[in-house]
């Protein structure tokens, strides 16, 4: 079954919910309120996503399917990517409650693009995350009010695309107290973090 959403689809459930139907083929929006988790396991084509204060939206369950809609994300809660394969993320904004955390789990190769203004943590605990440009992970230097940390799990590889990789390794290495070579080997201990 397919949900055709040309309006506002709002989830405010009191339990965790997994949505396996495709939400799309319309100009609608998806909003997740409440303190529980909405997991999207289908490849969705609705317009934009809003995550309310304390809410969690998870994309995928570790497999090759699961996506948000095509528009931007307003994030005052937590956005979790748990995918395999290759995915693209970006254009993740902080909401009116000035919050938002983004977690990358699973084995996916993630291209993280720009337009991000969420102000809380960025957690990378699996896969490979390629930063498409400088400052795609928000920091206090680029986003007013940013208080987020870059939190790296075990066996994580994060690098800038093209010639930005060495710059990131130098900056992150200094913040983490690790050498550039150690970070390049992608052996950052579980729970290591750096202020961004």
Q: Where are the domains of the chain?
A: 2-195
pLDDT at 180 over 60: no
Residue range 121-150: mean pLDDT, rounded: 85
Runs of H (alpha helix) within the chain: 165-176, 180-184
| φ/ψ (deg, to 5) at 82 | -130, 80
Beta-sheet strands, E only, within the chain: 2-4, 8-11, 17-19, 22-24, 29-32, 37-40, 49-51, 56-59, 73-75, 78-82, 86-89, 92-94, 101-105, 109-112, 122-124, 128-131, 149-152, 157-160, 192-195
In this model, does residue 54 exceed pLDDT 80?
yes
Q: What is the structure's pLDDT at 164?
A: 47
Between these two residues, 149 and 124, which has the higher pLDDT value? 124
Where does the pLDDT of residue 127 fall: very low under 50, low under 70, confident under 90, or very high at 90 and above? confident
What mean pLDDT do residues 144-156 have?
76
Q: List the Cα angle 130/131/136 in 5-degree steps.
A: 150
Average pLDDT over residues 26-35: 88
pTM for this entry = 0.81
By the 8 A CB rule, do 137 and 150 touch? Answer: yes
pLDDT above 70 covers what percent of the chain? 76
Categorize the per-residue pLDDT at 165 as very low, low, confident or very high, splitting at 50, 70 and 90: very low
């Amino acid at each position: 079954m397919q949900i055709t959403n040309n309006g506002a689809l709002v989830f405010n459930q009191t339990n965790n919910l997994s949505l396996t139907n495709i939400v799309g083929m319309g100009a609608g929006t998806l909003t997740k309120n409440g303190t529980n988790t909405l997991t999207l396991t289908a490849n969705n084509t609705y317009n934009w996503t809003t995550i309310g204060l304390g809410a969690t939206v998870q994309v995928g369950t570790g497999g090759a399917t699961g996506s948000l809609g095509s528009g931007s994300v307003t994030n005052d809660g937590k956005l979790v990517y748990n995918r395999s394969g290759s995915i693209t993320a970006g254009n993740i904004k902080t909401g009116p409650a000035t919050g938002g955390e983004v977690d990358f789990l699973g084995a996916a190769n993630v291209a993280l693009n720009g337009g991000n203004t969420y102000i809380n943590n960025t957690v990378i605990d699996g896969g490979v995350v390629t930063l498409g440009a400088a400052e795609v992970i928000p920091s206090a230097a680029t986003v007013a009010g940013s208080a987020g940390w870059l939190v790296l799990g075990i066996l994580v590889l994060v690098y800038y695309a093209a010639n930005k990789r060495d710059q990131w390794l130098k900056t992150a290495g200094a913040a983490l107290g690790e050498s550039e070579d150690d970070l390049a080997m992608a052996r950052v201990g579980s729970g290591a973090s750096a202020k961004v």
